[in-house]
Structure 1
Amino acid sequence: MMEENLKIIQEIMMLGIKLNQQRRMSIEFDFHSASNKLTISICTNPNPTFNDELTRRWWVSVKNTEMLKAVLKEIKNLEIPIEDFLGD
């Protein structure tokens, strides 16, 4: 079970880095070993007009496979608009 979770976490991190490079989003990963929680934060590019940004944050147990899959799905959905635009 933990092997599957580690693969999901790896995919989450790889997608986060890809979003950072393709869409210039700010990405942060933090693992808290005492609670076995992984925090993932993704921030959009700042809006120069309003000087703000939108941040999405997930705080999930590295032992919870279903929640890790849900986070992965949400992050994949952030990637879709750029792939649709590029025709991938």
Structure 2
Amino acid sequence: MLKIFKIIATIEGISALLLFFFAMPMKYIYDDPYYVKHVGMAHGVLFTIYIVMATILKFTEKWDFKKYFIICIASIPPFGTFYIERKYLKNA
């Protein structure tokens, strides 16, 4: 389950970067909302899966609340999930 979570964390991080640094500039600079709609939907689904899996792993891996909170909050800023993967999920 941790290996799957690492993969989801990586993909979620990539989708966030695509949303922030490709899709949003395409919308606001070139007035093309197509990419925000599709990349944003994919990112939203991946974000939800990431949080649900983190919650499941909190109980199966017996994470303390601090670790769980940091892992969940790290999904918000760009590059946060990459940090979590290296710091907290390295041994998975």
TM-score range relative to shorter protein: 0.3 to 0.5
Which structure has the higher relative contact order (CA within 8 Å, separation 6+)? 2
TM-score calculated relative to the size of structure 1: 0.36
TM-score calculated relative to the size of structure 2: 0.35
